[in-house]
Amino acid sequence: MPLLTVENVVSGYGEMQVLNGVSLTVGENEIVSIVGPNGAGKSTVMKLVFGLLKPWEGAVTFNGQTISGMAPEKLVKLGLSYVPQVDNVFPNLTVEENLDMGGYTRSGSLDEQKERVYELFPRLAERRRQRAGKMSGGERQMVAMGRALMLDPKLLMLDEPSAGLAPLLVDMIFEKVADVNKAGVAVLMVEQNAKKSLALADRGYVLATGQNKVDGPGQKLLDDPEVARLYLGG
């Protein structure tokens, strides 16, 4: 049974329909990437899974439980974490304080989980006393990912983790996504950088106009010239 199942969801904002029957699955310890042109509905899928939007039709299940429209604060307790594209750190707090905020719903000491995060992101350990707002874009993205990992999630959702980063930092962020996955966390990410995300992903979904267009192993989608031409700007 997949860890996450999104089945034929229809949703949108106000009266504007954005998703027109989208379906996808994420298995345990998988990396799954959602790619496609601007306006395809990629980020809307993430918001819907994390309870920021309610499905008008269709269903979302996580770890065998129906979560359609469930509040985000309940979802994090089930093992689902989400890193939005913007406003994903507390800029006036230090790295360590950001991590503490990420684990605020955990009972007991945060030290053990914090050390796991520092092992995954050694640069954060070096800069634990630095304010997040004074860090580079790549470092802030690591803070955001680290904070989301403080609740020891089963699934980490990342919305455009490489957006606005210099090429060198893009490579570093994708390496960190791989490291998080190797630590036993499934990853669902939305990415404009289709080539890098599909190269990393076990499987990929191409969305366009709020619908599934193609899906399959990440490398297979990347190698398909028709997919590249129609949907990936290649």
Closest CA to 208 of 187, 233, 186, 183: 233
**Mean pLDDT across the chain, nearest whole number?**
92
Asked whether residue 196 carries a pLDDT value surpassing 70, the answer given is yes
Is the pLDDT at 182 greater than 90? The verdict is: yes
- For 37, the domain range is 4-231
pTM over 0.85: yes
Structural domains counted in the chain: 1
Distance CA 179, CA 23 (A): 27
pLDDT: which is higher, 86 or 12: 12
On whether the CB atoms of residues 234 and 228 are closer than 8 A, the answer is yes
Q: Which residues pair with 211 in a beta bridge?
A: 208
Given a contact cutoff of 8 angstroms between Cβ atoms, the answer to whether 165 and 90 are in contact is no
Query: Using one digit for the tens of pLDDT, what is the confidence trace for 7-26?
Result: 999 999 999 999 999 999 99
pLDDT band at 53 (very low <50, low <70, confident <90, very high): very high
What are the tens digits of pLDDT across the range 100-155?
998 877 766 788 899 999 999 999 999 999 999 999 888 999 999 999 999 899 99
Query: Would you say residue 232 has pLDDT above 90?
Result: no
CATH code of the domain covering residue 218: 3.40.50.300
With cut-offs at 50, 70 and 90, classify the pLDDT of residue 233: low
pLDDT at 83 over 90: yes
Mean pLDDT of 188-194: 93
